[in-house]
């Protein structure tokens, strides 16, 4: 009897916890949306919503990769620098006559390779993820500056597919938003329906147990950092298309927005717990804040203050919930 | 100090853990507290020391009604609790660990290191511990860490010391030393509450025993007036016919063999296991038993030697290769190495066999669930659902989940390292039965164990490891505690 009631109680507790865990960030987003639209009804106009989706797509792609990384208990500080380096290389290829879409593909694969470098430093080199990616962040940013000599790369031609990639619409939805949604679905399935996803959680939950269970921990980690690099490069391609140029300083501090989105989405920085759906919500919270505060005419200085406070409140609420 | 607890009730939420506990501790006695996991032993002691508040009931200390608000208050009054999960700050030195939060001070509030050192050395001398005081505590063995905790408790000049499974990680020599210290503390009038699953120890050193079951104290008796069988019966509330189920072994062909295996902590190890056979591996803590198993399983590098499976030479460079060859490894530390505590039972059991449920890349959830449910049933894991978080299960059930996980790969060879550590008597027997079932199906089992009765009761053959080498092999018929210990301590 006692054992039964014990089990019952914990499963009830778990249910409540998992409901709040899943809905907590969502409720936060809802409150934010209601608040902003009451203050300024034009927020809810379709044009603004589509605009918002396009705005968040770059952070979303990076944050999706970051979710996998953080779920393993790691961190990737180099995503902004990978974005810049792969963008510069992609733009360079386009300028020297490559087919732009082929250049984007190669750029994304290069991003994956840069990510793999992180993964190898962390697994083979046994470096802490923070240190390894801090170093490669500086390294990749430096390489970008060397390659571009500090100047933007322009003159990317007028290939229509390339222009659509960052600026176009598909069935009325901005192409970057479509890319984001498709990527989300693919990654959602990868994380929640495949052995790879389960192994990602297992590594973050208990790396030793994962290893002893026969999981190729180093391989999974290298693949995850490659994924993170790939997605950073993909978002870089969107940015390059939108600006019609590659900026050597592009993506600076994007890693912080991505980490903020992951944390807002309820994923634990110590790994093993979290959901990619939460990250999507986290990305939207940051997006609505940016977009809404602009609509409300809040100065960009105060916007940062508000964003910081929102992150603190979100994490504090999360603590309280799990305590 | 004399303590009486009367009619103690305590619930966590709707979960009633203590339902009318009575307990009396006399001055200068060693009082054993026994019961299956979850019977409420630790909770009762936590209520006494103020970690948990009580819902109902009375506590008297030396005849005066008294309730401690927190463990610190209890400690100041002279009651110290040495928990099973050790409170060690791994990055700090042994010395700093011993005095954390109560460092002696000199002028200007500076720490008086000289005084700390002399006080610490005094206690270490008493315990016959030769640990450098400036060693990082995290680099000490678990046994050494346990001794640090005990020394720390002695420093507080406690009048009551509660020890929760103090010998779980100690070597034979350390255990003897601890018993001597307990005897001398007793002479000084210190009372000891001794929580343990080890019957032999309890009957060797305790004066009285209280048995708990389902949140109640079942009985308290003087040790000379009771016996082993009675205690077990009271603990489980039913007759236990035998501690070890009957083994009917018919070993077949040799499945697994190692030849001249040499690694960092062992050398020239050769032995073989036949299908359906249980080979027990005995030896003192630190003799290299676990290291040999880690080497075989590809977790630690092997310098030389070979491993043969079904007569064929195999290379195992990592756990993944071992698992693919059909070798399972139930490690000695299930929380740290065996389980993902935040995972559900289902996710833990499925972990090493994930790809078999995902022939086309996606996990077939129905197949996975059926498979897991079958194993949960077969191993009688007590749970409402396969989705229960493993960290919320009792020790015995957790161990069953670890075993289920390895049965799931369809193993040819299972390595069990301390398979019943921290597991209560009832679950222990179930695990033994399971081992018998597995060997009946032809699985070859290597069982590393520090419990001699277990090695003697379950093995078909016994290997004794001494200082990284196989000191000898004993057939089940002629093995005794004495000849195992002789080999384990380097005798012939």
- Interface confidence, given as ipTM, is 0.85
Statement: residue A12 has pLDDT above 80: no
Mean pLDDT of B271-287: 90
Statement: residue A8 has pLDDT above 80: no
Query: In this predicted structure, what is the pLDDT of residue B166?
Result: 85
Question: Are B336 and A5 an interchain contact pair (Cβ–Cβ within 8 Å)?
Answer: no
Question: Are B336 and A206 an interchain contact pair (Cβ–Cβ within 8 Å)?
Answer: yes
Statement: residue A2 has pLDDT above 60: no
Question: Are B351 and A210 an interchain contact pair (Cβ–Cβ within 8 Å)?
Answer: yes
Q: Sign of the CA dihedral A54, A176, A83, A99?
A: negative
Give the side-chain half-sphere CA count within 13 A for A96. 6
Statement: residue B162 has pLDDT above 90: yes
For residue A1, being part of any structural domain is answered with: no
Question: Are A10 and B388 an interchain contact pair (Cβ–Cβ within 8 Å)?
Answer: yes
Query: In this predicted structure, what is the pLDDT of residue A195?
Result: 96
Kindly state the tokens that stand for B166: 């103090």
Q: CA B305, B311, B312, B315: dihedral to nearest 10 degrees?
A: -40
Most confident of A19-28, A208-217, B10-19: A208-217
Q: Sign of the CA dihedral A38, A42, A45, A51?
A: negative
Query: In this predicted structure, what is the pLDDT of residue B484?
Result: 86
CA distance B59 to B67: 7
Contacts of A215 in chain B (CB under 8 A): 320, 351-352
Contacts of B214 in chain A (CB under 8 A): 2
CA distance B405 to B353: 8
Inter-residue contact B216 to B6 (CB < 8 Å): no
A152-179: pLDDT as tens digits: 999 888 889 999 999 999 999 999 999 9
Query: In this predicted structure, what is the pLDDT of residue A4?
Result: 41
In the block, residue with structure tokens 């693949």: A223
CA distance A294 to A304: 12
Contacts of B389 in chain A (CB under 8 A): 10, 14
> Which residues 273-302 in chain B show a CB within 8 A of chain A?
297, 299
Q: A219: distance to nearest CA of chain B, Å?
A: 11
Q: Say if B38 is an interface residue toward chain A (CB within 8 Å).
A: yes
Mean pLDDT of A118-132: 97
Task: Tell me the pLDDT band of A18, cut-offs 50, 70 and 90.
Answer: low
| CB atoms closer than 10 angstroms to residue A228 | 32
Can you say how many angstroms the Cα of residue B107 is from the centroid of all Cα atoms in its chain?
44
By C-alpha distance, which of B474, B467, B460 is closest to B488?
B467
Q: Is residue B390 helix, strand or coil?
A: helix
Query: In this predicted structure, what is the pLDDT of residue B141?
Result: 78
Task: Please name the member of A205, A208, A214 whose beta carbon is closest to the beta carbon of B320.
Answer: A214
Question: Are A195 and B385 an interchain contact pair (Cβ–Cβ within 8 Å)?
Answer: no
Statement: residue B225 has pLDDT above 70: yes
Statement: residue B281 has pLDDT above 90: yes
For residue A143, being part of any structural domain is answered with: yes
Kindly state the tokens that stand for B430: 């179930």
B240 compared with B166, residue with greater pLDDT: B166
Task: Tell me the pLDDT band of B238, cut-offs 50, 70 and 90.
Answer: low
Q: Say if B224 is an interface residue toward chain A (CB within 8 Å).
A: no
CA distance A233 to A114: 10
Range of the domain at A156: 60-252
Statement: residue B151 has pLDDT above 50: yes
Question: Are B343 and A205 an interchain contact pair (Cβ–Cβ within 8 Å)?
Answer: yes
Query: In this predicted structure, what is the pLDDT of residue B231?
Result: 83
Q: A194: distance to nearest CA of chain B, Å?
A: 5
Kindly identify which residue of chain B lies nearest to residue A190, measuring between CA atoms: B362
Query: In this predicted structure, what is the pLDDT of residue B175?
Result: 85
For residue A315, being part of any structural domain is answered with: no
In the block, residue with structure tokens 């004495």: B482
Contacts of B392 in chain A (CB under 8 A): 7, 10
Task: Please name the member of B299, B339, B392 whose beta carbon is closest to the beta carbon of A10.
Answer: B392
Statement: residue A114 has pLDDT above 80: yes
Query: In this predicted structure, what is the pLDDT of residue B243?
Result: 74
Q: A204: distance to nearest CA of chain B, Å?
A: 9
Q: A263: distance to nearest CA of chain B, Å?
A: 19
Q: Say if B355 is an interface residue toward chain A (CB within 8 Å).
A: yes
Could you tell me the pTM of the whole model?
0.78
Mean pLDDT of A212-236: 97
Interface test with B, best of A1, A189, A213 (most B CBs within 10 A): A213
Contacts of A10 in chain B (CB under 8 A): 388-389, 392
Exposed/middle/buried for residue B416 (C-beta within 10 Å: 0-12, 13-18, 19+):
buried
Question: Are B351 and A198 an interchain contact pair (Cβ–Cβ within 8 Å)?
Answer: yes
Mean pLDDT of B190-203: 88
Task: Tell me the pLDDT band of B439, cut-offs 50, 70 and 90.
Answer: very high
Question: Are A214 and B215 an interchain contact pair (Cβ–Cβ within 8 Å)?
Answer: no
End-to-end CA distance of chain A: 27
Task: Tell me the pLDDT band of B453, cut-offs 50, 70 and 90.
Answer: confident
Statement: residue B474 has pLDDT above 80: yes
Query: In this predicted structure, what is the pLDDT of residue B396?
Result: 84
Query: What secondary structure letter does DSSP report for B159?
Result: S
Task: Tell me the pLDDT band of A10, cut-offs 50, 70 and 90.
Answer: very low
Statement: residue B177 has pLDDT above 90: no
Question: Are A2 and B358 an interchain contact pair (Cβ–Cβ within 8 Å)?
Answer: no
Q: So what CATH class is B254-488?
A: alpha beta
Give the side-chain half-sphere CA count within 13 A for B25. 29
A80-94: pLDDT as tens digits: 999 999 999 999 999
Query: In this predicted structure, what is the pLDDT of residue A11?
Result: 47
By C-alpha distance, which of B447, B404, B413 is closest to B323?
B413
Inter-residue contact B339 to B398 (CB < 8 Å): yes
Q: A186: distance to nearest CA of chain B, Å?
A: 12
Domain count, chain A: 1
- Give me the total of CB pairs closer than 8 Å, taking one residue from chain A and one from chain B: 108
Domain-wise residue ranges, chain B: 3-236, 254-488
Query: What secondary structure letter does DSSP report for A153?
Result: B
Query: In this predicted structure, what is the pLDDT of residue A7?
Result: 41
Question: Are B336 and A208 an interchain contact pair (Cβ–Cβ within 8 Å)?
Answer: yes
Contacts of A6 in chain B (CB under 8 A): 15, 38
In the block, residue with structure tokens 């005794």: B480
Contacts of B318 in chain A (CB under 8 A): 211, 216
Mean pLDDT of B20-34: 92
For residue A186, being part of any structural domain is answered with: yes
Query: In this predicted structure, what is the pLDDT of residue A6?
Result: 40
CA distance A264 to A279: 7
Q: A78: distance to nearest CA of chain B, Å?
A: 29
CATH topology assigned to domain B3-236? Rossmann fold (3.40.50)
Kind plus residue range of the DSSP H or E element containing B430? helix B425-440
For residue A35, being part of any structural domain is answered with: no
> Which residues 110-169 in chain B show a CB within 8 A of chain A?
none
Mean pLDDT of B337-353: 94
User: How many residues does this entry show for chain A?
Assistant: 323
Statement: residue B11 has pLDDT above 60: yes
Question: Are A213 and B336 an interchain contact pair (Cβ–Cβ within 8 Å)?
Answer: no
Q: Say if B397 is an interface residue toward chain A (CB within 8 Å).
A: no
Mean pLDDT of A198-224: 96
State residue B253 phi and psi, 5-degree precision: -70, 160
Mean pLDDT of B326-350: 94
CA distance A208 to A227: 23
Task: Please name the member of A11, A215, A272 whose beta carbon is closest to the beta carbon of B342.
Answer: A272
Average pLDDT over chain B reads 88
Question: Are B340 and A273 an interchain contact pair (Cβ–Cβ within 8 Å)?
Answer: no
Task: Please name the member of B14, B362, B389 whose beta carbon is closest to the beta carbon of A194.
Answer: B362
A248-291: pLDDT as tens digits: 999 999 999 999 999 999 898 889 999 999 999 999 999 999 99
């Amino acid at each position: 009897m006692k054992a039964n009631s014990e089990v019952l109680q914990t499963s009830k507790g778990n249910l409540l916890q998992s409901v709040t865990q899943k809905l907590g960030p969502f409720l936060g987003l809802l409150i934010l949306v209601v608040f902003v639209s009451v203050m300024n009804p034009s927020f809810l106009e379709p044009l603004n919503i589509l605009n918002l989706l396009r705005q968040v797509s770059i952070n979303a792609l990076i944050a999706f990769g970051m979710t996998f990384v953080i779920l393993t208990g790691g961190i990737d500080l180099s995503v902004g620098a990978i974005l810049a380096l792969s963008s510069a290389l992609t733009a360079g290829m386009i300028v020297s006559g490559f087919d732009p879409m082929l250049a984007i593909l190669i750029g994304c694969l290069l991003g994956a390779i840069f990510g793999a470098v992180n993964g190898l430093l962390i697994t083979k080199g046994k470096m802490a993820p923070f240190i390894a990616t801090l170093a490669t962040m500086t390294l990749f940013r430096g390489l970008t500056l060397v390659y571009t000599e500090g100047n933007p790369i322009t003159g990317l031609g007028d290939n229509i597919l390339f222009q659509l990639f960052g600026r176009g619409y598909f069935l009325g939805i901005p192409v970057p938003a479509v890319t984001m949604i498709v990527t989300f679905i693919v990654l959602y399935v990868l994380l929640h329906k495949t052995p790879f996803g389960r192994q990602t959680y297992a590594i973050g939950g208990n790396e030793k147990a994962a290893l002893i269970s026969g999981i190729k921990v180093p391989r999974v980690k290298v693949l995850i950092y490659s994924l993170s690099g790939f997605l950073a490069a993909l978002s870089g391609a969107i940015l390059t298309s939108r600006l019609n140029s590659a900026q050597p300083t592009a993506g600076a501090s994007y890693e912080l927005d991505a980490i903020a989105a992951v944390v807002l989405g309820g994923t634990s920085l110590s790994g093993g717990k979290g959901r990619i759906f939460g990250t999507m919500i986290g990305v939207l919270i940051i997006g609505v804040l940016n977009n809404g505060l602009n609509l409300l005419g809040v100065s960009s200085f105060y916007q940062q203050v508000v964003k910081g406070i929102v992150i603190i409140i979100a994490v504090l609420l999360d603590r309280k919930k799990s305590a | 100090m004399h303590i009486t607890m009367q009619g103690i009730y305590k619930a966590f939420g709707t979960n009633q853990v203590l339902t009318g506990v009575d307990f009396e501790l006399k001055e200068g006695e060693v009082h054993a507290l026994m019961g299956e996991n979850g019977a409420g032993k630790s909770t009762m002691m936590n209520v006494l020391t103020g970690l948990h508040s009580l819902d109902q009931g009375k506590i008297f200390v030396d005849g005066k009604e008294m309730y401690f608000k927190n463990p610190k208050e209890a400690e100041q009054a002279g009651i110290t609790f040495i928990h099973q999960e050790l409170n060690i700050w791994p990055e700090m030195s042994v010395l700093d660990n011993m005095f954390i939060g109560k460092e002696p001070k000199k002028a200007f509030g500076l720490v008086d290191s000289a005084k700390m050192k002399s006080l610490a050395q005094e206690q270490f001398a008493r315990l016959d511990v030769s640990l450098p005081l400036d060693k990082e505590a995290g680099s000490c063995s678990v046994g050494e860490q346990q001794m640090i905790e005990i020394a720390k408790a002695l420093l507080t000049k406690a009048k009551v010391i509660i020890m929760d499974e103090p010998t779980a990680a100690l070597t034979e020599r350390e255990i003897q030393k601890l018993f001597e210290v307990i005897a001398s503390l007793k002479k000084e009038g210190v009372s000891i509450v001794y929580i343990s699953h080890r019957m032999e120890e309890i009957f060797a050193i305790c004066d009285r025993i209280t048995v708990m079951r389902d949140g109640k104290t079942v009985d308290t008796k003087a040790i000379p007036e009771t016996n082993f069988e009675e205690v077990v019966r009271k603990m489980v509330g039913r007759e236990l016919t035998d501690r070890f189920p009957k083994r009917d072994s018919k070993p077949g062909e040799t499945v697994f063999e190692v030849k001249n295996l040499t690694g960092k902590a062992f050398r020239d190890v050769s032995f073989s296991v036949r299908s359906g056979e249980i080979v027990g591996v005995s030896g003192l803590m630190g003799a290299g038993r676990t290291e040999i198993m880690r080497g075989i399983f590809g977790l630690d590098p092997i310098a030389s030697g070979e491993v043969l499976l079904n007569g064929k030479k195999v290379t195992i460079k990592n756990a993944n290769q071992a698992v693919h060859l059909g070798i399972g490894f139930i490690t000695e530390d299930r929380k740290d190495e065996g389980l993902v505590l935040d995972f559900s039972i289902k996710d833990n059991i499925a972990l090493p066999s994930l790809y078999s449920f995902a022939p086309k890349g996606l996990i077939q959830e129905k197949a996975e669930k059926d498979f897991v449910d079958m194993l949960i049933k077969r191993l009688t894991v007590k749970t409402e659902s396969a989705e229960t978080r493993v960290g919320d299960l009792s020790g015995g059930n957790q161990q069953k989940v670890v075993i289920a996980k390895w049965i799931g790969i369809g193993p040819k060879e299972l390595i069990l390292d301390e398979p019943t550590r921290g597991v209560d008597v009832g679950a222990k027997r179930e695990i033994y039965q399971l081992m018998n079932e597995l060997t009946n199906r032809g699985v070859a089992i290597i069982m590393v164990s520090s419990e001699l009765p277990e090695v003697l009761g379950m093995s078909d053959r016994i290997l004794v490891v001494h200082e990284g080498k196989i000191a000898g092999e004993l057939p089940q018929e002629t093995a005794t505690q004495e000849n195992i210990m002789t080999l384990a301590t380097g005798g012939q």
